[in-house]
Amino acid sequence: MELPHRPRRLRRDGVRDLVSETMLTPADLVAPVFVDATADERTPIPSMPGQERVPLADAVDRTREILDTGVEAIVLFGIPASKDDTGSRAYADDGIVQEATRRITSETDAYVITDVCLCEYTSHGHCGVVEADADTDPTLTVKNDETLSLLAETAVSHAEAGAEMIAPSAMTDGMVDAIRTALDDAGFSDVPIMSYAAKYESAFYGPFRDAADGAPSFGDRRHYQMDPANRREASREVALDVEQGADVLMVKPALPYLDVVSDVRREFDRPVAAYNVSGEYAMLHAAAEKGWLDLESVAHESLLSIKRAGADLIITYFAEDVAETL
């Protein structure tokens, strides 16, 4: 055969790496850490094999384990000792994330990102304050504008504790602006915001809600998180966050939304983050446990694909395991 083009020539060992378009490094990865104010020992999360909630006393050790794999950044989630209607433990000075942040930033070199949301802290499990009677009337939802000041207060309390980046995930309209203004007013104009800009109302968050104890006690999040059917809307959502001063733009979940990751990469000149969420992690583990998939290979391929689609950084429960193989 006279074939002028033989793409297989460049697939041999030796040249393959020279022409590889995408490279995954531990520096691309962010590992989630769950700090639990209700626990005095580490508790495994059943639906997320290998992940655990750690008590405050273990927050530094847990972070050091992550750093040992070459991963340099963590995102902190808190499980508070108590919950109330307005999620007041989210913005308490001595809240679990604030305390953990203080310890981790003073004792390690980890880059500490904090998730800013109210759902782990409210008694009803929604991401903000809800209207009276929302538990019985499905047309009622989270009060957007009343929630903004609480998110801003949470962000400032995290920055005061030493958080190096703030990641608001509440899908409240105007949240980036409210947080940027509050951070600047409090003297934290150098603290960047990584907005969960295009966050979908996804069933892939199931295991996380067990992990962080943040499932809504009534209704769902479709009044504020995005409809999985919508792609162009993601660009509008992201544009608003860019206008409001978001430094890093996140798409979440990752694998089922690679079209959105790719759009955000092409349309916006900002770093793009993707959150490889709990359900994406759980399903690969479940298949591997049955012997149906090779976990190390599919985990690596998943993260590589997220990067290939356009993500600069990936938040993933696979961070440590994959980093160790790179």
The contact set with ligand PBG (CB under 6 A) reads 115, 117, 119, 127, 169, 205, 208-209, 214, 277-278
Annotated binding site: 117, 119, 127, 209, 221, 237, 278, 317
Instruction: Tell me the closest approach of the beta carbon of residue 187 to ligand PBG, in angstroms.
Output: 27
Q: For the residues of 93-147, what is the DSSP string, one character each?
A: TT-HHHHHHHHHHHH--PEEEEEE-STTTBTT--SS-B-TTTTT-TT--B-HHHH
Give yes or no: 252 in active site.
yes
Task: Point out which residues pair with 250 in neighbouring strands.
Answer: 273
Q: How far is the CB of 277 from ligand PBG (least distance, A)?
A: 4
The catalytic position among 143, 252, 290, 307 is 252
Element (H, E) at 276: strand 272-276
From the list 185, 225, 219, 191, the residue with the least C-alpha distance to 205 is 225
In the complex, the smallest distance separating the C-beta of residue 117 from ligand PBG, rounded to whole angstroms, is: 4
Give the residue nearest to ligand PBG (CB): 208
Nearer to ligand PBG, 228 or 267 (CB): 228
CB count, 10 Å around CB of 143? 16
Which residues on adjacent β-strands are paired with residue 53?
Answer: 34, 43
**How far, rounded to the nearest angstrom, does the alpha carbon of residue 87 sit from its chain's CA centroid?**
19
Q: Please give the structure tokens belonging to residue 238.
A: 């992201």
In the structure encoding, which two tokens stand for residue 194, read together? 């990584």
- Residue 10 CB, nearest distance to ligand PBG (Å)? 37
Nearer to ligand PBG, 119 or 191 (CB): 119
Backbone angles phi and psi of 130, in degrees to 5: -110, 160
Closer of 267 and 295 to ligand PBG (Cβ): 295
To ligand PBG, the closest distance from the beta carbon of 142 in angstroms equals 11
Q: What are the φ and ψ backbone dihedral angles of 251, each rounded to 5 degrees?
A: -115, 140
Using the structure block, give the residue that is written with the tokens 């694909």: 305
Closer to ligand PBG by CB, 20 or 124: give it: 124
Report the SS3 class of residue 110: coil
Angle at 316 between CA 192 and CA 308, to 5 degrees: 85
Nearer to ligand PBG, 103 or 209 (CB): 209
| Closer residue to ligand PBG in complex, CB, 63/122 | 122
Cis peptide before 253 (omega within 30 of 0): yes
Alpha carbons 303 and 198: distance in angstroms, whole number: 19
CA–CA distance, 161 with 93 (Å, rounded to integer): 8
Q: How far is the CB of 209 from ligand PBG (least distance, A)?
A: 6
Which run of H or E residues covers position 104?
Answer: helix 96-107
In angstroms, the CA 44 to CA 16 distance is 40
Distance CA 124, CA 109 (A): 36
Active site residue 143: no
Binding residues for 5-aminolevulinate: 209, 221, 278, 317
Catalytic residue IDs: 199, 252
